[in-house]
Amino acid sequence: MSQIKKTQLTSEHERLGGKMVEFGGWWMPVRFRGIVEEHQAVRSGAGLFDVSHMGEILITGPDALRFTNTIVTNNVEKLEPDQALYTCMCYQSGGIVDDLLVYRLPEGYLLVVNAANTEKDYGWIVEHAEGDIQIANESDDYIQIALQGPRAAEILAPLTDENLDAIRFYHYAKGDVTGLPAIISRTGYTGEDGFEVYLKGGEAEAARVWRALLEQGKPFGLVPIGLGARDTLRLEMGYMLYGNDITQDTTPLEAGLGWVTKLKKGPFIGRDALLRQKEQGLRKSLIAFTVEGRSAPRHGYPLLLDGETHGEVTSGTFSPSLERGIGLGYLSTEAQAREGILAVNIRGKSVPASRVSLPFYKQGSHL
Amino acid sequence: MDEAIRCTSEHEWVRAEEGFAVVGLTDYAQGELGDIVYVELPEIGARFEKGEVFGTIESVKSVSDIYSPISGEVHAVNHELEAHPELVNQDCYHAGWIVKLDMSDPSELDDLMTDAEYEEFISGGAEE
């Protein structure tokens, strides 16, 4: 890994005593007070996340809509002027380049991509550029702070002139936060109500918004959250993690992301392969399961049916809300069609597992 | 920290008690691991050589082996940890003990670090 990158909030995390680790090339807090406590704060009150490491790529120009729609699987044409959508971006093979959000902004389409994929995605998009468009990697300019939890709106409201009640789920408003211009988006990666706030600036602007939110949130139990709880929160919702649950070797159809794959919208990269896969049937697909006992399934552990390996765990953890091990993994279609006992091979022991429907945690405040 | 304990470079502690060796995880180790959610305990009667893996400990994010600080036979395990693994975080030197060994060679204790030596070891660049 070349130089480890820092966000505009790194010094704030160090000041708050965050335990810092290298993650995907970034120097990020994995936890502050502890993963379980942070997790529960988000489920019951609110939590504050630095997600400035995420990438932001802006596509503008007369052909921006047409082009954007050819590189992602969901239908960008359906976006209202103040709306965002979740989508995949695929290779010709149908494998996934990345999963991302697309915002329809007045000036164009803003793609918010995974931190570790930013350079790869930007390169991919530029390589496939078509028509009268401009593509700008604005990742270094953006600060991104996520405020998540059932009390999020109460905390943010006094710090903005925007009427937050008017921002619906997966919509945004261009407004202000502590007087600084910001995109206030009602989105997140936790299953709770909340906002992702995008603003341009450096350490001073980042610290101003971060500190104001922490101060405002104190009576509501707001605490800073590290990547550890970000992962347990997203996994309880069954949200995908690129590099684990989705990769260049898995397709959106296999990952259960058919709902963001609009095969009838017209041509897009990967469509032919996905149509073929749909016609021929899937050889494997992602399943969700809980395990008996407190030992957690982990990435890479074999998934067993009647003692034979038929797949692999892609994400697994101890779920603080369910107080048991939960996991996602690919299981062969053939094994799924059979009756049998599902288990996870946890370090040589076959631990019985039960298939469940997503999300694992069904009491999220945005649901 | 308790004066009477000895520690390993793998961050286990051991304390001689009524002829047995009580074993647990050091405060430094529990702090590095974070929230402990599962402790896999050995069978009573199982024998372990010094340095052999006798169990595993899982935090939310990681899985670590627990090494036997000395040779011996498992005399007792802390069953409380089955329902309350967080005791290792809350009280690692007492309520969070892990196993009690019947030592085969109590002189092995002398090879381990004293608490002062261990303190120096962890402040002097212990592995992450």
**Per residue in B73-120, pLDDT tens?**
999 999 999 999 999 999 999 999 999 999 999 999 999 999 999 999
pLDDT at A2: 66
Chain B nearest-CA residue for A320: B60
pLDDT at B2: 54
Tell me whether A31 touches chain B (CB under 8 Å).
Answer: yes
- Provide, as residue numbers in chain A, all residues whose Cβ is less than 8 Å from the Cβ of B61: 30, 35, 228, 231, 317
Nearest of B56, B61, B40, B65 to residue A316 by alpha carbon = B61
Calpha distance A76→A268 (Å, rounded):
11
Calpha distance A33→A19 (Å, rounded):
9
For residue B124, give Cα distances in angstroms to A41, A297, B9: 35, 34, 12
**Residue A126 is which amino acid?**
V
Of A19, A35, A293, the CB nearest to B60: A35
Tell me whether B31 touches chain A (CB under 8 Å).
Answer: no
Minimal Cα–Cα distance from A106 to chain B, Å?
41
Best of A32, A35, A225, A321 to disrupt the B interface (most B CBs within 10 Å) is A35
Calpha distance A276→A263 (Å, rounded):
11
pLDDT at A269: 98
- Provide, as residue numbers in chain A, all residues whose Cβ is less than 8 Å from the Cβ of B30: none
Chain B nearest-CA residue for A324: B37
Place A3 in a pLDDT band, splitting at 50, 70 and 90: confident
* Beta-bridge partners for A250: none
Question: What tokens appear for B13 in the block?
Answer: 């502690």
Q: What percent of chain A has pLDDT over 90?
A: 97
Tell me whether B58 touches chain A (CB under 8 Å).
Answer: yes
- Provide, as residue numbers in chain A, all residues whose Cβ is less than 8 Å from the Cβ of B58: 294-296, 318
Place B126 in a pLDDT band, splitting at 50, 70 and 90: very low
Q: Looking at this predicted complex, what is its ipTM?
A: 0.85
Place B49 in a pLDDT band, splitting at 50, 70 and 90: very high
**Domain A55-126 is classified in which CATH homologous superfamily?**
Aminomethyltransferase beta-barrel domains (3.30.70.1400)
Place A367 in a pLDDT band, splitting at 50, 70 and 90: low
Tell me whether A299 touches chain B (CB under 8 Å).
Answer: no
In the predicted model, what is the mean pLDDT of residues A58-70?
A: 98
Tell me whether B61 touches chain A (CB under 8 Å).
Answer: yes
Contact between chains at B34 and A298 (C-beta distance less than 8 A) = no
pLDDT at A366: 79
- Provide, as residue numbers in chain A, all residues whose Cβ is less than 8 Å from the Cβ of B59: 35
In the predicted model, what is the mean pLDDT of residues A231-250?
A: 98
Place B128 in a pLDDT band, splitting at 50, 70 and 90: very low
Contact between chains at A35 and B38 (C-beta distance less than 8 A) = no
Tell me whether B84 touches chain A (CB under 8 Å).
Answer: no
Q: How far apart are the first and last CA of chain A?
A: 39
Look up tokens 């022991």; give the residue: A349
**Residue A63 is which amino acid?**
D
Helix-helix angle A35-44:A227-237, to 10 degrees: 50
Contact between chains at B58 and A296 (C-beta distance less than 8 A) = yes
What ranges do the domains of chain B cover?
A: 5-103
| Residues A16-34 pLDDT 10s | 999 999 998 999 999 999 9
Cis peptide before B69 (omega within 30 of 0): no
Three-state secondary-structure class, residue A22: strand
| Residues A166-181 pLDDT 10s | 999 999 999 999 999 9
Check if CATH label 2.40.50.100 holds for domain B5-103.
yes
In the predicted model, what is the mean pLDDT of residues A342-353?
A: 96
| Cα A243–chain centre separation | 12
Q: Say whether pTM exceeds 0.90.
A: yes
Calpha distance B12→B68 (Å, rounded):
8
Contacts of A190 (CB under 8 A, 6+ apart): A42, A47, A146, A148, A149, A230, A233, A234, A237, A364
Nearest of A275, A324, A335, A266 to residue A295 by alpha carbon = A324
What ranges do the domains of chain A cover?
A: 10-50+140-235, 55-126, 238-356
In the predicted model, what is the mean pLDDT of residues A100-119?
A: 98
Question: What tokens appear for A101 in the block?
Answer: 């959000």
- Provide, as residue numbers in chain A, all residues whose Cβ is less than 8 Å from the Cβ of B79: none
Lowest mean pLDDT among A1-10, A30-39, A275-284: A1-10
In the predicted model, what is the mean pLDDT of residues A126-133?
A: 98
**Is the pLDDT at A111 greater than 80, yes or no?**
yes
- What are the backbone dihedrals phi and psi of residue A264, each rounded to the nearest 5 degrees, phi first? -95, 0
Q: What percent of chain B has pLDDT over 70?
A: 95
- Provide, as residue numbers in chain A, all residues whose Cβ is less than 8 Å from the Cβ of B35: 34-37
Contacts of A109 (CB under 8 A, 6+ apart): A58, A59, A60, A64, A65, A68, A76, A102, A103
Of A34, A296, A298, the CB nearest to B34: A34
Look up tokens 């009390």; give the residue: A151
| Residues A146-204 pLDDT 10s | 999 999 999 999 999 999 999 999 999 999 999 999 999 999 999 999 999 999 999 99
Minimal Cα–Cα distance from B98 to chain A, Å?
17
pLDDT at B3: 56
Query: Do you know the residue count of chain B?
Result: 128
Topology (CATH level 3) of domain A10-50+140-235 = Gyrase A; domain 2 (3.30.1360)
Contacts of A298 (CB under 8 A, 6+ apart): A313, A316, A317, A346, B63
Place A294 in a pLDDT band, splitting at 50, 70 and 90: confident
Minimal Cα–Cα distance from B38 to chain A, Å?
6
Q: CATH assignment of A238-356? A: 2.40.30.110
Nearest of A246, A242, A351, A340 to residue A297 by alpha carbon = A351
Calpha distance A2→B7 (Å, rounded):
37
**Is the pLDDT at A97 greater than 50, yes or no?**
yes
**Is the pLDDT at A277 greater than 90, yes or no?**
yes
Chain-wide mean pLDDT for chain A?
97
